[in-house]
Amino acid sequence: MIIIKPISTNIRQIIKTDKERLIIREDSHNFEGKSNVYCIENSHIIWHAELPSEKDYYSNDLQPLGSNLKVSSWNGETVEIDSNTGKILKISLLNN
């Protein structure tokens, strides 16, 4: 059993990838750090998800989208994230 300690708030979601990595989404409320979505492999953070803007956070559940992830931000943007790197692949306004 793996014990995961959150960076700043509470863990809201964990997704296990096919590469034995865990993608974590912490609660965005009062989060302090680079990004509240990050990836852990062998107990080490290997990436933090890019944010659509500096003061934004990911407020909704991560959704698998092929080999990538889709998530909405607090500022109302839907973001596609590369699950291997945490880099933003696409940004669109919510509901588009």
- Distance between CA 41 and CA 46 in Å, rounded? 7
Q: Using an 8 Å Cβ cutoff, are 74 and 28 in contact?
A: yes
- Give 10-residue mean pLDDT values along the chain (96 residues): 81 88 91 90 93 91 94 93 96 73
**Predicted pLDDT of residue 28:** 86
81 strand-pairing partners: 69, 88
Neighbours of 81 (CB within 10 A): 25
Tell me the residue type at 52. Answer: P
**Predicted pLDDT of residue 88:** 97
Burial 49-68 (b: 16+ CB within 10 A, else e): bbbbeeebbbbbebeeeeee
**Predicted pLDDT of residue 31:** 83
- Distance between CA 24 and CA 2 in Å, rounded? 13
pTM assigned to the model: 0.89
**Predicted pLDDT of residue 94:** 61
